[in-house]
Amino acid sequence: MLWRLLERMDETRFANAVVCMIEAGPVADRIREMGIPVFFLGMKRKWPDPRGLTSILRLLRKERPDILQTWLYHSDLLGLLAGKIKGVPRLLWNIRCSNMDMNRYGRLTAMVVALNARLSGIPDSIIVNSYAGKEYHQRIGYRPKRWEVIPNGFDPEAFKPSEKARTGLRYELGLPEKSFLIGLVARFDPMKDHRNYFLAARQLLDTAEGREDVHFVLAGHGVDVENVTMKSIISECGLNGRVHLLGERTDIPFVTSGLDIASSSSLGEGFPNVVGEAMACGVPCVVTDVGDSAWLVGDTGRVVPPGDPIALAGAWCDLIRMGEDRRRSVGEAARRRIVEGFSIDVMVRRYETVYEELTVA
């Protein structure tokens, strides 16, 4: 979403630079291709590194930004500290999750979130991408000067139905053209609850709808054959031969458009990009009732309780029983909902308005 925002911001009014706390990834390459500088602090995951603060202070002295907009908990804390030391005029936080179960994360992350709650009155504004995220953070003590709820936006030209993708994905996987694909695009993370997805897959295969041509396709950072934990769950559920792990992909529109059903099995979300992207592709979605997922899907998909593989499998069965024509109608309604209500251009204008209001205040 950061890449999409940068891609469409008015270059005559805004000059952007991006600072990444850790190593480079594929999104960084896409940002640099737009001519936007990307800097790396070289910090390590899970371990605090004071050299990161030194590096960001050096960058702020060089770049002298009018606004420092940070994304996610750890960068919010680091950016607040560095921004205050260097006297950056305006500081903004960005929160993109809700209902975080801190028991599934390390002690450091829990400490950062708790500290951020205490410091939340210092930044000039906190932007959240979901109403659920705002409500959750209010409950845990966030008290900012100003809340801004800006839902994610989607590009219906990049994400759209594609018969070519349907055929191409099955060819890539070595599957017959009529194979039925149920997908999950999500990084390997406790809150994404991949185990729930696999348990639901086993449940589905044990029903009449679990026919021989049903396969499960997953993509995302850490979702690959090197993931020992994931392979163990797949084997435990008796899913060998039915699951396809694609790892981190840069062609998500291709992968998503090739699915028959898209899923989100998360225990917590803010405003899930992958669901809106699937809807834009005309793919019916089954989502857990977390964050703003149910609001996003509306009546164009199915919503189930989190952590309930039986309900998740049941929703899949419901869509399978519909038949191809009715599923296509559901998918078309989902795409219309995205086009009419969740345009990426609206999202970008909202961000630009916030930035302008803060700089002239």
Check if the beta carbon of residue 99 is closer than 8 Å to that of residue 113.
no
Phi-psi region of 338 (alpha: psi -120 to 50; beta: other; left: phi over 0): alpha
What mean pLDDT, rounded, does the chain reach? 93
Whether the domain at 2-153+344-360 and the domain at 163-341 fall into the same CATH topology: yes
Local confidence band at 361 (pLDDT 50, 70, 90 cut-offs): low
Please tell me the CATH code under which domain 163-341 is placed. 3.40.50.2000
Check if the beta carbon of residue 77 is closer than 8 Å to that of residue 21.
no
Query: Any idea which residue has 């020992």 for tokens?
Result: 228
Helices 273-280 & 324-341 angle (0-180, nearest 10): 120
**Mean pLDDT of all residues in 151-172:** 95
Q: Taking 80 as the threshold, does the pLDDT of residue 48 lie above it?
A: no
357 class by beta-carbon count within 10 Å (0-12 exposed, 13-18 middle, 19+ buried):
middle
Q: Taking 80 as the threshold, does the pLDDT of residue 45 lie above it?
A: no
> How far is 293 from 296, CA to CA, in rounded Å?
5
Comparison of pLDDT for 344 and 121, the residue scoring more: 121
pLDDT, tens only, 212-247: 899 999 999 999 999 999 999 999 999 999 999 999
- Residue 55 amino acid letter: S
pLDDT, tens only, 194-207: 999 999 999 999 99
pLDDT, tens only, 284-314: 999 999 988 999 999 999 999 999 999 999 9
pTM of structure:
0.74
- State whether residue 141 is helix, strand or coil: coil
- Strand ranges of the sheet holding 147-149, from the earlier edge strand across to the other edge: 67-69, 90-95, 125-128, 147-149
Domain boundaries, the chain: 2-153+344-360, 163-341
pLDDT value of position 271 = 83
Nearest CA-CA partner of 175 in 183, 145, 122: 183
pLDDT, tens only, 85-111: 999 999 999 998 776 666 777 788 889
Query: Any idea which residue has 């205040």 for tokens?
Result: 361
**Mean pLDDT of all residues in 177-203:** 96
Please tell me the CATH code under which domain 2-153+344-360 is placed. 3.40.50.2000
Local confidence band at 270 (pLDDT 50, 70, 90 cut-offs): confident
Nearest CA-CA partner of 107 in 195, 48, 49, 182: 48
